[in-house]
Structure 1
Amino acid sequence: MESHIVVIDDEVDFLDSVRRGLITSGFKKVSLESDPMVIAQSLEAGKEYDIALIDITMPRLSGIELLERFKELSPQTECIMVTAIDEARVAVECLRKGAYDYLVKPISKEDLVLSLSRAIERKRLVDILDISKSNDVPSLRKPDAFAEIVTSDTLMFKILKEAELHAQSNVPILISGETGTGKELLARAIHRASTRSGKRYTPINMDALDSNLFSAEFFGHIKGAFTGAQTNRAGYLEETHRGTLFLDEIGNLSVELQGKLLRVLQDGEFIKIGASRPQQVDIRFIAATNADLEKLIVRKRFRKDLFYRLRGGWLHLPPLRQRKDDIPLLVDHFIQSADARFAPKEVTHEALVLLYNYAWPGNIRELKSVVQSAINLSQGAPIAPGHLPDHLVQKSSPRKRGVMDDGPVALQEVEKRHILKIYDQAEKNKSETARLLEISLSTLHRKLESYGVA
């Protein structure tokens, strides 16, 4: 999600200069306005901005007055004040009224970019904090990026929204969670939701990476660097320049190799094998682990400095046993994704109860494997307990609360329950429900009418 920056100044030359500086620095969504009243009116109409760069001395409406309008009508906007006169009294007044920063003209490009970058990062962190405190189900600005993640769980929606907010920055992200919870799926979604979505996404299983080949695989080499190096070869870092590098099972990387990786994260550069000069690289790093890295640090098996460097944003995916209401949705998703010639149209009540009450130590990955096996065995008939593995039937614990009616559970019934649950979470707002479900409003109206819901 690209941050929307608005610059308000009555000096047209200053506006043009700022636009050029921001565009060349990678800020793409920049609006300019010479009349502060236009911005004030847009705020009253509900217009939202992420960052506002406001000149203090303007006709019709002063910068201080416009700052007050922002804090009243759009408090989530981070405001940076600009003035040609360096007065401590004015600076203090701006900060007291809620401004994030105070810049004095002439402003260097470096100072402007630094202030804006810090304001964007602060807004991102504040938004994340607000999400964690709220009981509401947050909405995604880029739902298509997260479409592969099937859930109706409020906690999961908060995690996805936090991931979307992290995606707009360049900070490294650490994803933790048990095996099979969907860490790589989330990493791909973050890449798609970021400004790097058009660039390369490179997933690497660190557990499967030969330590003897680490440098060659990551850094690449030049021709003649060693016996057999007959041509220049680009490594993962060079190939993923301006893209996203996903480091799966980072906890299994040896301490020695952790040090080599840390230098890349710290300095943003590396040296090819056989080369004499460092090479700059621009990469978003996402790491994932099913291990407790803090315990590994205590045991001297993971570097503390690398841990803190990777943990710019930390997302923890809950196990499936903590989001059991997603099980019917996931079963439906896996069935819909199967070969239509063999996919069943329903799951018996007994089978769904067994699936619901099983502990799922392998999480979503295990559920997918079980459903795919049941589809093959059922050959188009309703999935029944006899199509499920023996160990699952034996270890499925009695349900503690009624979540399903007796009788076979058709996939249409699973869909109905999901739609009505989201409808309730959206406080019966049909437009919001349709947006969360990613269906048209007319489709939602038709569905609700068939359920007897006005």
Structure 2
Amino acid sequence: MNSSVVVVDDDRDYLEILGRKLADIGFKRIRLEESAVKLAGEIETGLVVDLALIDMTMPEMDGITLLETIKANSPSTECIMVTAINEARIAVDCLNKGAYDYLVKPVTTEDLSLSIKRTLERKRLLDLIDIEKRGDLPTLENEAPFKPIITQSKKVMRILKEAELHASSQVPVLITGESGTGKELLARAIHGASPRAQQPFTPINMSSLTGSLFEAEFFGHTKGAFTGAENGRVGYLEYTNRGTLFLDEIGDLPLSLQGKLLRVLQDGEFTKLGSSTHQQVDLRFIAATNENLERMITQKRFRKDLYYRIRGGWLHLPPLRERREDIFLLAQKFLEKYYDVSHPGFIEKPALEVLMQYAYPGNIRELKSILQSAVNLAHGAPIQVTHLPAHIKTASKNCTDEEMDAGDQTIKPLAEIEKAHILKAYAQTGENKSKTARLLGIGLNTLRRKLAGYGIH
């Protein structure tokens, strides 16, 4: 588990006992601290941890005082109190002051694991609520799994933070969005940021599974279960045990098979074809679809109970037309094998403007296809408008004509329009001059001169 835990107890022996139990549960970021005063000082100066296990009785500072210090300075830190005294009055006092749970020594590994699981689930839910309230951009604690997702969109960054929070839990996740928005990429990132990262990630296209093929592929079969089947087969469930099963295009799964999938989700067990023995399986389920499942439920095409089972966490990826600030970044990524993308001349400005104005009904997948076609036509030269498909240029021209018609009555000076456009791009990149210059397709020195003229240095 990636969550950080600090255990505070003046008894070194008991500290080490709890440390070993936390390691057995799966925690890697564990701090054992004998001094409550030292930890309180660090908390007051900015230290943040996910979870604190606090002994009630310590010589320099008691557990209640430390709890109050933590909650005053790091309210997102969840606290569990540990004591040798089983007294209801003390437990109630701890809970009133912000502790989530109260454990009595000696603490078994099972009780400790259950308490921590509930506590971190609460923290995850509160952190999700906090993302919606915050005006600033959330940061990822574990960036590596999310690096393949290229974005500077605030909307997408918030989704990635939600995904990271869901990753640490065991809840199923439903990812929705139009075709080509990167749903599988996000599912892989969730798996990579989860405690299951070292176990298999198995993507399955649910639209390809029908009838007996579903059971054979999902559950596997024993030797002789089918005519001519000399050997048994390991199904997706058994193969992915302890890992993540990605159910892509789950909206395309026939209604007759949805009940069979639901039983696996509910009970965590399955039976191979040709066998009567039930097998347990430990899986994380992530589902994705470009369908409106709620509409499908009203049309009796998708089971309501399955919908609520897979929608433990819900992430909706916006289409590319709603995150246009990512178009240039994605173009750089797709073209880096063909061009020196650190030089702005790899794509001419008129061509970039056409790409920026297009609506991309096929989203990121379509952008990549357009650029690969343009590379073939450019033969190593910078990409020009003439290298882009005709329907892209036509759509761009229509868009420009509509904008001109709409603006006939409120025509502004060109310099004013340019200033507004540059400042908007500058704000979207978090006031990063290099990114802004690349996004606008102009030189860095040119951008600096423009900004200086606007009084920005």
Answer yes or no: is the 8 Å Cα contact 1:345–1:381 preserved in 2.
no
Take 1:142 and 1:264, find their aligned partners in 2: how far apart are those partners? 30
* Unmatched runs of 5 consecutive residues or more in structure 1: 407-416, 434-446
In structure 2, the residue matched to 1:424 is 431
> Aligned AA for 1:210?
T
Deviations 1:61-84 (A, max 9, x none): 100001011111211100011222
Q: TM-score, normalised by structure 1?
A: 0.86
* Distance of aligned partners of 1:166 and 1:120 in 2 relative to their CA distance in 1, 3 Å threshold: same
In structure 1, the residue matched to 2:350 is 350
Q: How far is 1:27 from its partner?
A: 2.8
In structure 1, the residue matched to 2:399 is 398
> Aligned AA for 2:370?
V
Q: How many residues align?
A: 425
* Distance of aligned partners of 1:419 and 1:241 in 2 relative to their CA distance in 1, 3 Å threshold: farther
Deviations 1:383-417 (A, max 9, x none): 22221112222222435599xx99xxxxxxxxxx9
> Aligned AA for 2:379?
Q
In structure 1, the residue matched to 2:149 is 149
> Aligned AA for 2:310?
L
> Aligned AA for 2:108?
S
> Aligned AA for 1:398?
C
> Aligned AA for 2:369?
S
Answer yes or no: is the 8 Å Cα contact 1:344–1:380 preserved in 2.
no
Take 2:7 and 2:446, find their aligned partners in 1: how far apart are those partners? 47
Q: How far is 1:18 from its partner?
A: 2.4
* Distance of aligned partners of 1:243 and 1:451 in 2 relative to their CA distance in 1, 3 Å threshold: farther
In structure 2, the residue matched to 1:442 is none
The answer to whether 1:81 aligns with 2:81 is: yes
Take 1:75 and 1:10, find their aligned partners in 2: how far apart are those partners? 24
Alignment map for 1:309-324 (pairs within 5 Å)? 309-324=309-324
> Aligned AA for 1:368?
K
Take 1:327 and 1:228, find their aligned partners in 2: how far apart are those partners? 52
Q: Which shifted more, 169-178 or 382-391?
A: 382-391
Deviations 1:151-176 (A, max 9, x none): 11111111111111111112111100
Take 2:258 and 2:446, find their aligned partners in 1: how far apart are those partners? 58
Answer yes or no: is the 8 Å Cα contact 1:51–1:79 preserved in 2.
yes
Deviations 1:404-446 (A, max 9, x none): x99xxxxxxxxxx989854427xx9x9xx9xxxxxxxxxxxxx
In structure 2, the residue matched to 1:18 is 18
Q: How far is 1:256 from its partner?
A: 2.3
In structure 1, the residue matched to 2:421 is none
Take 1:54 and 1:324, find their aligned partners in 2: how far apart are those partners? 48
Take 1:418 and 1:333, find their aligned partners in 2: how far apart are those partners? 19
In structure 2, the residue matched to 1:171 is 171
Q: Which shifted more, 50-59 or 134-143?
A: 134-143
Take 1:110 and 1:256, find their aligned partners in 2: how far apart are those partners? 39
Query: What secondary structure does 1:52 align onto?
Result: strand
Deviations 1:41-80 (A, max 9, x none): 3323422211111111221110000101111121110001
In structure 2, the residue matched to 1:261 is 261
In structure 2, the residue matched to 1:9 is 9
In structure 2, the residue matched to 1:136 is 136
Take 2:367 and 2:447, find their aligned partners in 1: how far apart are those partners? 31
In structure 2, the residue matched to 1:413 is none
Take 1:277 and 1:23, find their aligned partners in 2: how far apart are those partners? 34
Take 2:211 and 2:355, find their aligned partners in 1: how far apart are those partners? 40
In structure 2, the residue matched to 1:360 is 360
Take 1:207 and 1:316, find their aligned partners in 2: how far apart are those partners? 20
In structure 1, the residue matched to 2:109 is 109
Answer yes or no: is the 8 Å Cα contact 1:344–1:381 preserved in 2.
no
Take 1:134 and 1:336, find their aligned partners in 2: how far apart are those partners? 35
The answer to whether 1:288 aligns with 2:295 is: no
Take 2:327 and 2:49, find their aligned partners in 1: how far apart are those partners? 39
The answer to whether 1:96 aligns with 2:96 is: yes
Take 1:216 and 1:298, find their aligned partners in 2: how far apart are those partners? 30
In structure 2, the residue matched to 1:53 is 53
Take 1:418 and 1:140, find their aligned partners in 2: how far apart are those partners? 23
Q: How far is 1:246 from its partner?
A: 0.8
The answer to whether 1:38 aligns with 2:45 is: no
In structure 2, the residue matched to 1:237 is 237
Take 1:125 and 1:377, find their aligned partners in 2: how far apart are those partners? 50
Deviations 1:301-330 (A, max 9, x none): 111111111111110000111111211222
* Unmatched runs of 5 consecutive residues or more in structure 2: 408-413, 416-423, 436-443, 450-455
Query: What secondary structure does 1:424 align onto?
Result: coil
Deviations 1:323-345 (A, max 9, x none): 112112222221114478xx994
Deviations 1:362-386 (A, max 9, x none): 1111111111111111112222222
In structure 2, the residue matched to 1:63 is 63
Take 1:65 and 1:422, find their aligned partners in 2: how far apart are those partners? 43
Q: How far is 1:259 from its partner?
A: 1.3
Q: Which shifted more, 309-318 or 1-10?
A: 1-10
Identical residues among aligned pairs (%): 56
> Aligned AA for 2:300?
K
* Distance of aligned partners of 1:206 and 1:337 in 2 relative to their CA distance in 1, 3 Å threshold: farther
Q: How far is 1:106 from its partner?
A: 3.4
Take 1:45 and 1:148, find their aligned partners in 2: how far apart are those partners? 34
Alpha-carbon RMSD across the aligned residues, in angstroms, is: 3.0
In structure 2, the residue matched to 1:437 is none
Answer yes or no: is the 8 Å Cα contact 2:320–2:364 preserved in 1.
yes
Take 1:121 and 1:449, find their aligned partners in 2: how far apart are those partners? 50
Q: How far is 1:244 from its partner?
A: 1.4
Query: What secondary structure does 1:237 align onto?
Result: helix
Query: What secondary structure does 1:181 align onto?
Result: coil
In structure 1, the residue matched to 2:214 is 214
